[in-house]
Structure 1
């Protein structure tokens, strides 16, 4: 009957079919690893994330977590908030049209969940009723499409409801394509050299289809929404983007709302909130929704035990406990093992963790978050036994669309990948006396010819400082934190040797302090203070805190490294920084440059008359 109906009747019928399918697909949400029977209704657990208009006209080059930590102190008064369902709508007073929206945000900050909520609200008829059809096409799905398609064929491939209804004129309807996860794209997206395509029935490569759709050659009336991590945003030419938005994650109120929603035990929720507030680095990290889940997973287990004293206060401690808990969950789920001590790591667990660490390290070096079977094989993982890895690794099945059986893999979050990569490097050193960072160690060997741990640390520090994007910053924090005796004790089942690393740590601390005094990059220097925190060395910070508590702020001349310590203290302060008054501090131009990270994220600054030379030019203050 539908075939005999008018085009409008047919279009409405197809629209209802697509709404129904999307409603079923997106009404549930999984945190971490998808488990049968353990999903939640999105509407019950969804917590609105903070989304802002605009992105400042430039791409960030620092590590995403560093940007999040620095942005944490930035006030919101000058930023235009955007509701998730209004992402494609004009702001008041704007007359320019919006065709292509690029939404950036760090891994785990809430981009995909925002997309899910947008689609679900449309499918349920609650919002964006002016949109006729929505076609979600995640890049992780498109990576596997090697054959040639027409745009209409690609749509029908993922949305069979469109087959046989070629009479529906997509040019005369409001159609939205959502491309989630640009940072996961392995297609070249060659906007410059790809040929033009204007016909929705013309077959070509998926790459050519995407570039022409985004450029507006194909279906110029269609709306486009692309999400991405910041580092990949420049893959889309600026002239193709009509609106830039940024997902900034949870604000303080939303963090508490998340924990209170997640736990029916309000007392437990409040204890967890109290604990994360007691550690500034953990509380700021809870800006990331996925980190809230990681923290909740760990703290629910630990705070539920009477007399528990080993409550994690650093990132490395949190992720080490998370690893142990996830390993125990795997054993319970797949082996029915409820009796084992979660702190014990058995031989088969060790093999899994070692291989996952190898995968994490290999793919971190390539800056990949999504992996395929060939990536797993390269890391020595038997793809026929991937269920054994699912306590730590998220599996996303291709048959989610009902068309393929091929699987894709990713870690629960980028920080999990960075932690396991750091653990892999430490294990290669401890168990095999290797330095996988491949720097010359011939001049820094022990008397027996073995490599010193401080040399491995030095290699990691140097490589992190050399990175233009800071992509190794958090990896470095984890690598150093893992070497502490307290974390070594937790990981003893993985290590062939567990002797004290105190002497190597002292050497590493001296090396980091030396780098702080000489580093030309204020942002990299701030990360070195985070590294000292992971190594439980607070001497520079304590010195600057004593200085701040004194009444001689303008008398003592601060060295550049002391200014870096000052910047770190100001960024990590629990008090909102409304005004940065550089006239309070006595330093040199080199010292004032170390305060740039604070200056960039303060609403108001009172400055002396001097000029700060930056890599990108001169900033006259």
Structure 2
């Protein structure tokens, strides 16, 4: 009998000592109780000793569909973001795409076919193991497969890898399922009438470390001791327990190996969370509705992050990050940069989902070299706008499909006339774009000296501005954003400490010089997003203060962030000690924090222009009212399979402050049925102010703001011009302004 190393990792429940005269019925009841105790609580990636969460309370259903996708469907899914991706997920849940639930995995199809083998496939982190454990818990709790299976056995392939020496099926199940009475188990397994009531759940087939090569032996008896691989192959090939049923979970890259072992089976693809599933998961994660709603507002503000939350592991990462921020200050919760989220995603995949062929330090063997090859493939694909790769593409980069690649690459088999074609892809285009940027940080792009000095040479060496990039090279814009994020030394240092993978951008100075050059003028919200991604306050301050006039406007080329207030606030805080001749803000959303940050230096400027700006009381305000318009506007880029960057030039609606000027005017005065006085007006009421011109055209000011404006007219002795066109001041407001104008301390010369 072989031994299992570390068999107590899952903190299993112990069955009471049984005697051979115990009835199989009693044995079955006790086994169910053991399974319930074993699977009712789960450990999360960051769980400390003794910490666990309820599987029943945390589990959220996943969208699953029978069969395989068409090539066009897969390309559209990989490229789409936000509204386009949500629409795709909603369509896939319709009957047209053959969705299926856990309860119906073994249900007959339209032709009456009833499978006894079901393969659940999906990428790393999509929820295969969580689904497997939920099946075990529901069966043991009497909620699943009650009339179909008397016994369900869970076999973790990760644990099977630890077995040394020969073992038989009775010993394997006794060890893996913690069954103390082999005699009763033998009776169950050898009873022909019981076999059709047995279900084996083989979790993580792709993680198996095959050492024997081709099949050389066959196991015919449950008591016959043999190598673990021969035993498992015999179970899958139906050489033993022919009438039993199987559920096998695997990543797609292992399907080629699995197909050599299976004859006929039902293939089910796990596709992740729909919109409702995502929101349900967030509410389950946070527990309190108020915290969950705050988190959802933050997640929805970033199209890329919200799209990647279709993957449960990414959704968990984002929720965990926001939860940590909430512990600091509930009123000022902020999500991390998109680069930090994707680095955490990479960290989790490498440390928890990689194959367990590990070195002494715990990392997968030669992970740096393998990751570098993957990044080179991703980089080539991004430059060439390629998201589906053939096997020769992988071979050209030295990828073997049997190392860390299986964590990141999915295998897609498409039907083409009378044959099939196999392509490989990353889980989403945004992940490919992240790895493309990372390519420049892993030994400077595989040692190419020219590349070392000039990342994305087609763009930077030509001195193109970010605006030109969005128009001429939209497929590169998100990768460049990740490149800015990798300038964050603290971020990459933390990643190094956890993974021992060093990220270093040799061309850091080139990128910074380029940014200083292309942002030497009017800065738009796309520039703000890039600057925020660096989290480098000194660099941001140098870029934004290099001119005497600070001009910030909304970009009309839509990007991945709906509400730029958070990023803008961070950048404005770096300018608290600066002075500008004039401040020009055009068509922006300014929440309370942005207004407070402006108050630190706004009074030192002579000209203040807030043209068509929308003022908010708090971060995320007007989410409900804005989102309605946003959902109604379709993104042609998403629908047509454009880059995940989501660029949509001329888009008329994209969330907070992203609507047209008239939209900002209509919504600016009130967000919840009452008129609001922007905080910035109170900050402008300063006797030491040097403001000469104050432009508030189209900012949605109402009569409620006029009392503060009257005070500004009296207090600010240098003010000579006030512009209030397209504001809804009404007669009562005009009267208050007239009072200020008549005051002897008023120095105003022009009112429009």
Q: What TM-score do you get using the length of structure 2 for normalisation?
A: 0.48
**1:41 matched residue in structure 2:** 54
Distance in 2, Cα, partners of 1:308 & 1:84: 40
Runs of 5+ unmatched residues, structure 2: 1-16, 368-403, 409-426, 460-475, 495-501, 516-529, 536-553, 560-635, 649-752
Residue 14 of structure 1, aligned match among 7, 21, 27: 27
* Structure 1 Cα separation of the partners of residues 220 and 72 of structure 2: 31
Deviation, 1:131, is 0.8
Classify the secondary structure of the residue corresponding to 1:484: helix
Q: How many residues align structurally?
A: 429
Distance 2:191 2:278 in 1: 41
C-alpha displacement of 1:267: 2.1
Q: Counterpart of 2:453?
A: 452
1:305 pairs, out of 329, 337, 361, with: 329
Aligned residues: CA RMSD: 5.0
> How is 1:396-475 mapped onto 2 (pairs within 5 angstroms)?
434-435=443-444, 438-439=446-447, 441-442=448-449, 444=450, 451-452=452-453, 454=455
Residue in 2 aligned with 1:163?
182
Partner of 1:290: 313
After TM superposition, give the deviation of residue 229 of structure 1 in Å: 1.6
Equivalent position to 1:54, from 46, 67, 76: 67
Partners of 2:139 and 2:39 in 1: CA distance: 11
CA distance in 2, matches of 1:221, 1:67: 43
- Aligned ranges 1:282-431 → 2 under 5 Å: 282-302=305-325, 305=329, 308=332, 311-312=335-336, 314=338, 316-319=339-342, 360=350, 368-372=354-358, 374=360, 376=362
CA distance in 2, matches of 1:145, 1:252: 41
Superimposed CA distance per residue, residues 114-173 of structure 1 (whole angstroms, 9 cap, x where no aligned partner): 111111111122221131211111110111223112223322332433412333325321
**Counterparts of 2:200 and 2:72 in 1: how far apart (Å)?**
24
SS at the partner of 2:455? Answer: helix
- Of structures 1 and 2, the larger Rg is shown by 2
For residue 256 of structure 1, report the CA deviation from its aligned partner.
1.0
Mapped contact 1:151–1:201 kept (Cα < 8 A): yes
The whole-number CA distance in structure 2 between the counterparts of 1:189 and 1:88 is: 32
Instruction: Determine helix, strand or coil for the equivalent of 1:247.
Output: strand
Residues 1:254 and 2:273 aligned together: no
- After alignment, is 168-177 or 244-253 more displaced? 168-177
The superposition leaves residues 427-461 of structure 1 with CA deviations (integer Å, 9 ceiling, x where unpaired) of: 76xxxxx44x534x25x28xxxxx42628999xxx
Q: Distance in 2 between matches of 1:50 and 1:227?
A: 15
Question: Once structures 1 and 2 are overlaid, which stretch shifts more, 489-498 or 28-37?
Answer: 489-498
Matched-pair contact (CA < 8 Å) for 1:317–1:487: no
Q: Could you tell me whether the CA contact under 8 Å between 2:80 and 2:642 is conserved in 1?
A: no
Q: 1:149 aligns with which of 147, 150, 167?
A: 167
Tell me, what secondary structure is at the counterpart of 1:164? helix
Say if 2:163 is the partner of 1:172. Answer: no
C-alpha separation between the residues in 2 aligned to 1:97 and 1:43? 28
Contact kept in structure 2, 1:426 and 1:479, CA below 8 Å:
no
C-alpha deviation, 1:178, in angstroms: 0.8
Please state whether the residue corresponding to 1:149 is helix, strand or coil.
Answer: coil
Matching residue of 1:110 = 127
Query: How many Å separate the matches in 1 of 2:340 and 2:210?
Result: 37
Report 1 or 2 for greater relative contact order, CA contacts < 8 Å, sequence distance ≥ 6.
Answer: 1
Which residue in the other structure is 1:491 paired with?
A: 491
- Structure 1 runs not aligned, ≥5 long: 324-352, 382-409, 429-433, 446-450, 459-475, 509-530, 544-561, 575-621
The answer to whether residue 289 in structure 2 is matched with residue 266 in structure 1 is yes
Residue matched to 1:186: 209
